[in-house]
Amino acid sequence: MNKIVEDLDKQIDVDKEIIALLPKNEIKELKNLISKISEVKEGYDNLKDTIYKEICKRYNKYLEVNENPEIKVLEQKIIELNKKINLVNTESAYEKLGLDKLEYNMNGYYKKSLTELNSELIEFIKKYKNIGIEIEAKDFDISEYCQEYMTELLKSMDNSNSTNIERTFETIYWKCPELLSHIYVNIRTIYDKHKNKIEKYFKDKKDELEQRYNFTENTLENQKSELIKEKERLENIDGSIIINKFLNSELSINDYKKDNYINLYKDLILKDFEKLEENDKKELDENFAKLNRNLNEYFKYLQQKYLVDEILKIRSEELEKLEKQAKDKKKTKLESELIENEIKKKISEIEKSNQKVDKKIFKRNVEETILNRNQNILELKSLYLKLDSTSLKEKIVKEITNTSSLLDVLKFASYNYEFLAKSIIKKESDITDGEIQNKIKEIREFIKNTNFEVINNIGISDEKPVDLTIKDMYKLFGINLQKENFQEDNIEDIIKRVNIICGYNNIQKSPYTVENIEYILKAKALQK
């Protein structure tokens, strides 16, 4: 292309000189001049078309680079490992089935559409079927209202938005405005009925992985970390991924010019850049790559730290309570056990009421019995919600110990949908249901798809803040970080600077150069 430009510059000079020397006094001379100018213009128009075609040809050639297929292979392996991890982690069977999410949505903390709720109810029934438990309409026997609605829903398993379901819901709703509460309570009683079988199912799956394949959560997590590390390495130097980031304006080419790269590098190292030996530069590049991972992990952790803080706050309060009980030499049953006993009594009362309703001996008594039964169902709902809150607190004390890492706590927090949703609302009161779902997905994806190197190694009892731990370590590795870099207003800036340094290094390992990318961007703009 440079040769074409040089030749063109020479030709322009020649044509200028010829046109300047042509006589311009007579009409005939002027006509000859105009003719010559037209001829020259036509030649340049043709040349322009030729150059444009060449630019497009080279542009398309540069874009022929495909994403490394190994990236997708690694991605699938990570997904499969996460499935196995879900079976062996400390999530309860209730959470593994996703019933915590259904509970949250059924209780109207945020109003979902009837279609969405129906879809979740159907999903609940399908999950039971997958573990060998058939749920039928007759199982929804907490009330005649519940059974009537679920009978209609089960008839329309493949079309939860059917007009019949909506019509049925509307009819029942006017008779029983607490229909959703009845369904929720019934879901809980069904779970209680099959609890042992469900827990055995997940225990057997866990035992199979641990005994037959010698897998534990730690071994699976270590395998996953290696896969994530390799996937990120391939992505970082993949030409297709790199160029698309520039084409989509995710990255700016000006940031990746050599002069800017060198200035950023000089600013962040303790040694003199000009005097760096090849080995020193290579070592610093590797440390910058590690720092880049660590900073991005820390930044994402900061966005979710409120969950860790909330879990640790609950833990502290519960430990204080237990300490007081120990001082008072008070021996009591676990609060969850007391609530479970109340639940059993309440279920027994509801069953007796339903038997009376079925007999329909005296209409007045039946109506009264129904009213009392409905009130008991609402009280049972409150007991279940109280049980969940209490059980969570007890589980926190049991599973989060002084040796737990920040990652352990974050993982624990991520298991329970209701805890996540309520914590998010507490932080952002005006958030929408859709935004809550996206945030929960983001939290869980962060845990599933990150090669943790920082928060998995920092305990809840460690006194030294995470940011100082990172700063001090990399100072030993020759990277000059300051405490101010980690302040809320500055952290994104240091992340960006380190990202650029690593990005520039990765481009050098890719099929492209910075100059190639600049050419592609200019060619794209020209085509517009």
Which three-class secondary structure string do you get for 355-407?
A: HHHHHCCCHHHHHHHHHHHHHHHHHHHHHHHHHHHHHHHHHHHHHCCCCCEHH
User: For position 433, what pLDDT does the model report?
Assistant: 86
pLDDT of 121 strictly over 70? yes
pLDDT of 157 strictly over 80? no
Question: How is residue 508 written in tokens?
Answer: 């050098």
The residue ranking higher by pLDDT, 287 or 37, is 287
Return d(Cα 124, Cα 99) in angstroms, integer. 7
Total Cβ atoms within 10 A of residue 295: 25
Q: Which of 126, 102, 125 is nearest to 180 (CA)?
A: 102
- Predicted confidence band at 111 (pLDDT cuts at 50, 70, 90)? low
> Are the C-beta atoms of residues 237 and 510 closer than 8 Å to each other?
yes
Q: Compute the chain's Rg from CA coordinates.
A: 34
Question: How is residue 494 written in tokens?
Answer: 């240091």
Q: Name the percent of the chain in helix, strand, coil, to the closest 5.
A: 80, 0, 20
Return d(Cα 103, Cα 109) in angstroms, integer. 10
- Predicted confidence band at 11 (pLDDT cuts at 50, 70, 90)? confident
The residue ranking higher by pLDDT, 93 or 39, is 93
H runs (alpha helix) in 97-247: 99-106, 114-130, 144-155, 163-175, 179-207, 217-236, 239-247
Return d(Cα 501, Cα 289) in angstroms, integer. 9
Surface-to-core class of residue 483, CB atoms within 10 Å of its CB (0-12 exposed, 13-18 middle, 19+ buried): exposed
User: For position 362, what pLDDT does the model report?
Assistant: 57
Return d(Cα 120, Cα 95) in angstroms, integer. 14
In sign, the C-alpha dihedral spanning 125, 127, 129, 131 is negative
Q: Which of 279, 284, 237 is nearest to 262 (CA)?
A: 284
Name residue 405's beta-bridge partners. Answer: 459
User: For position 160, what pLDDT does the model report?
Assistant: 55
Residues whose CB falls within 8 Å of the CB of residue 164, separated by 6 or more in sequence, listed in order? 152, 155, 156
pLDDT of 512 strictly over 90? yes
The residue ranking higher by pLDDT, 15 or 503, is 503
* C-beta pairs of 190-196 under 8 Å, 24+ apart in sequence: 190/128, 190/135, 190/139, 190/140, 191/94, 191/99, 192/343, 194/128, 194/133, 195/93
User: For position 296, what pLDDT does the model report?
Assistant: 97
Return d(Cα 441, Cα 417) in angstroms, integer. 10
Helix (H, G, I), strand (E, B) or coil at 269: strand
Tell me the pLDDT tens digit for each residue of 49-82. Answer: 888 888 888 888 888 889 999 999 999 999 999 9
pLDDT of 499 strictly over 60? yes
- Predicted confidence band at 507 (pLDDT cuts at 50, 70, 90)? very high
User: For position 161, what pLDDT does the model report?
Assistant: 58
pLDDT of 268 strictly over 90? yes
Return d(Cα 175, Cα 438) in angstroms, integer. 36
Angle formed at CA 153 by CA 151 and CA 154, multiple of 5 degrees: 65
pLDDT of 44 strictly over 90? no
pLDDT of 45 strictly over 90? no
DSSP string, 413-476: HHH-HHHHHHHHHHH-TT--HHHHHHHHHHHHHHHHT---SSTTSSBTT--S-HHHHHHHHHHH
Return d(Cα 57, Cα 384) in angstroms, integer. 67
Question: How is residue 290 written in tokens?
Answer: 């590690």
* pTM of the predicted model as reported, rounded to 2 decimal places: 0.87
Per-domain boundaries in the chain? 2-62, 66-217, 223-310+452-527
How much is the mean pLDDT over the chain? 91
